[in-house]
Amino acid sequence: MNWLTNFVLPKIRGVVAKKAAPENLWQKCPGCEQMLFYREIEANLNVCRNCGHHLRISAELRLKITFDDGAFTRIELPKAITDPLRFRDRRRYADRLRESQAMFGSGADAVVVAHGRIGHFPCVVAAFEFGFMGGSMGIAAGEAVLAAAKLAVLQEAALIVVPASGGARMQEGALSLMQMPRTVIAVDMVKDAGLPYIVLLTDPTTGGVSASFAMLGDITLAEPGAVVGFAGARVIEETIHEKLPDGFQRAEYLVDHGMVDLVVPRAELRDTLGRIVGLLRDPAQSQAAGPLMQEVS
Ligand SMILES: [Zn+2]
């Protein structure tokens, strides 16, 4: 028995473990539950070929597929105060931050900012990294949106924000809630300068993020199937004791109810953004083109 368990079994395990595929080679589609091979989803912009489900993507990939030719320059963001409340729940907030920064780089937080061109027009993009503590908005994220707005004004560029966030970062308490008015003031700076401010809502955009700058775009786009709302559907259902309609809080539902202008498949994102920025920046072009978006008019 000992010989079997102590010697043979580890050997067998060793052989099997070596042959097993790494975890990230295959991924189950959350839409249709089909197993997707990573090369295939990568080649298709992380969209399921079977059901069209748009999987969540990193901020880095978002920037690549948004800017012309995938070319952009990331800017260094101002250093924000970390862990102002010395917060601790089951674990220390400082440890959680360190863990995420080990994945995304030291000094990183939930928002990255880059500038470049989209449809040949200068644009600044602030993209949320959902993988960084659920894309939660703390002081650093507020700082990043503010930096993006200032850069857009400086470069006379359009500002495009791509939220993917669970909301305010609770570990920063009231200071994270203060980022709501702060980011609203930031996008107001862009609007006051007469520059376009476009929001692309991605899955998920909820909580304090959906209750601030994310709902203030001159044009509001969304990715197919993205969940966008303030409180979660389950919480609402339990509060009002009513069954919610199908597709509640999904991008397509929000188009029908006037909160979103257009649902844009990822493959059409760059062209659509370029077209919209072009129409907003160049009035002559917009007169010739007629209505801004045929799908909506
Ligand atoms: Zn699928």
Q: What is the pTM of this model?
A: 0.88
The amino acid sitting at 4 is L
Q: What pLDDT was estimated at residue 1?
A: 54
Cα–Cα distance for residue pair 162/199, rounded to 1 Å: 6
Alpha carbon separation from 75 to 3, 54, 68, 114 (Å, rounded): 60, 27, 17, 6
Task: Please give the distance, rounded to the nearest whole angstrom, from the Cα atom of residue 268 to the centre of ligand 1.
Answer: 19
Task: Please give the distance, rounded to the nearest whole angstrom, from the Cα atom of residue 55 to the centre of ligand 1.
Answer: 9
Q: What pLDDT was estimated at residue 296?
A: 47
The phi-psi region of residue 66 (left if phi > 0; otherwise alpha if psi is between -120 and 50; otherwise beta) is: alpha
From the first residue on, what is the mean pLDDT of each consecutive set of 10 residues in the chain (297 residues)?
A: 66 59 81 94 95 97 98 96 95 96 95 98 98 98 98 98 97 97 98 98 98 98 98 95 95 97 98 96 70 51
Q: What pLDDT was estimated at residue 172?
A: 98
Task: Please give the distance, rounded to the nearest whole angstrom, from the Cα atom of residue 28 to the centre of ligand 1.
Answer: 8
Task: Please give the distance, rounded to the nearest whole angstrom, from the Cα atom of residue 48 to the centre of ligand 1.
Answer: 5
Task: Please give the distance, rounded to the nearest whole angstrom, from the Cα atom of residue 295 to the centre of ligand 1.
Answer: 25
Say which residues have a Cβ less than 8 Å from residue 205's Cβ, sequence separation at least 6: 163, 164, 165, 214, 226, 227, 228, 229
Task: Please give the distance, rounded to the nearest whole angstrom, from the Cα atom of residue 165 to the centre of ligand 1.
Answer: 22
Task: Please give the distance, rounded to the nearest whole angstrom, from the Cα atom of residue 31 to the centre of ligand 1.
Answer: 5
Task: Please give the distance, rounded to the nearest whole angstrom, from the Cα atom of residue 44 to the centre of ligand 1.
Answer: 12
Task: Please give the distance, rounded to the nearest whole angstrom, from the Cα atom of residue 41 to the centre of ligand 1.
Answer: 10
